[in-house]
Amino acid sequence: MTMSDDYVTGAGARTALEAAARASLRAPSVFNTQPWRWRLAGDVLELSSDPARRLGVTDAEGRLLLLSCGGALHHAQVSLAAGGWLVDVQRLPDPERPDLLARVRVTGPTEPDVEAEQLAAAISRRRTDRRPFGDRRVSEETLTHLRRLVEARGAYLHVVPDERVPELAISVDEAADANYFDPAHRGELSHWTHRPAWTGDGVPPATTVQPGLRRVPVRNFLPDGSSGLLPGADHDEGAAFVIIFGTSDHPVDLLRGGEAMSALLLRATLEGLATAPISEAVEVAWPRRLLSRLLSGIGEPYLIVRLGYVEAPEEVPPTPRRSPADVIFIED
């Protein structure tokens, strides 16, 4: 390869890394906090958590922050693979820098990955859909495919049997009650549901749903009575409830859990499924132990995801996103 070829390849890799960081801005995060930062230097892209965006009450242990950052990391990897780039990913590469979560280095060009191209196309289409799902059931074939995708990212997926969904509902309800009666949590929720438009973050009323009868409760993002989407006549009759889990709650495992979450949500979007992460039961210690029972004590629960079909023709509006200039720092 000539020096000119090296220059062209290096410039292309740098452009691809910046595009990957931009693609990651669409990743889901708890309360849409988007608690990550990117630093681009040469052919290396570094992902760091943003401690200022950690939910000090709702996510006191930082578990959901790591899951959120894992989702951003997977979005970036999908973008690079779809663009035809081989990468080396080091997770938690520097013990002296705990906020540095991953280092992504381009190692060379390759053929675009077909599945990554499909997932990349779903990034802009994915939404957290809090509306009730209808009675059409998610097929076993689809759930098996999602399980394999999650396992390929280093985590596991448990499909909650119908007869045990009431136990799941109890764990979520217990957590919701604990949060509701905690003034500090209510204050944090209010902060992230009343964000000025210029911040590009938080959960706006237009993406929330008024409370209604559900098989598993959905977090009330409208505690002050603000208007949101109407709940409609459905009650999640055909919804599937799955739990993403791992073997431990070590930071690297939670980060991989976030990557698995992203893979599941993007593939589900491609399959025509509506998706809604449910995090309440992992935010509070006692309900989290109830979730562990659903896993027969063999894993550490990371996140619940509700999967199903929505009959309404209109789409849920996208949640706001921060400006790339506020998240991506590029060194010359």
What confidence tens digit (pLDDT) does each residue in 268-285 have?
999 999 999 999 999 999
> Is the pLDDT reported for residue 225 higher than 70?
no
What confidence tens digit (pLDDT) does each residue in 35-68 have?
999 999 989 999 999 999 999 999 999 999 999 9
- The pLDDT assigned to 3 comes to 44
Instruction: Give the mean model confidence (pLDDT) for residues 186-214.
Output: 92
Q: What is the mean pLDDT of the chain?
A: 93
Instruction: Give the mean model confidence (pLDDT) for residues 319-326.
Output: 97
Using DSSP bridges, classify how beta strands 85-91 and 156-159 pair: parallel, antiparallel or unpaired: unpaired
Structural domains present in the chain: 3-124+324-331 (3.40.109.10), 140-308 (3.40.109.10)
- The pLDDT assigned to 222 comes to 77
Confidence of residue 315 (pLDDT cuts 50, 70, 90): confident
> Is the pLDDT reported for residue 233 higher than 90?
no
> Is the pLDDT reported for residue 9 higher than 80?
no
pTM, two decimals, is 0.95
- The pLDDT assigned to 169 comes to 97
What confidence tens digit (pLDDT) does each residue in 289-301 have?
999 999 998 899 9
**Could you tell me which residues come within 8 angstroms of residue 257 by beta carbon, excluding any fewer than 6 positions away?**
66, 67, 70, 154, 155, 244, 245, 246, 302, 303
- The pLDDT assigned to 210 comes to 82
| Cα–Cα distance for residue pair 67/257, rounded to 1 Å | 6
> Angle 67-306-311 (CA atoms, 0-180°, nearest 5)?
135
| Cα–Cα distance for residue pair 60/140, rounded to 1 Å | 36
Instruction: Give the mean model confidence (pLDDT) for residues 234-251.
Output: 96
> Is the pLDDT reported for residue 150 higher than 90?
yes
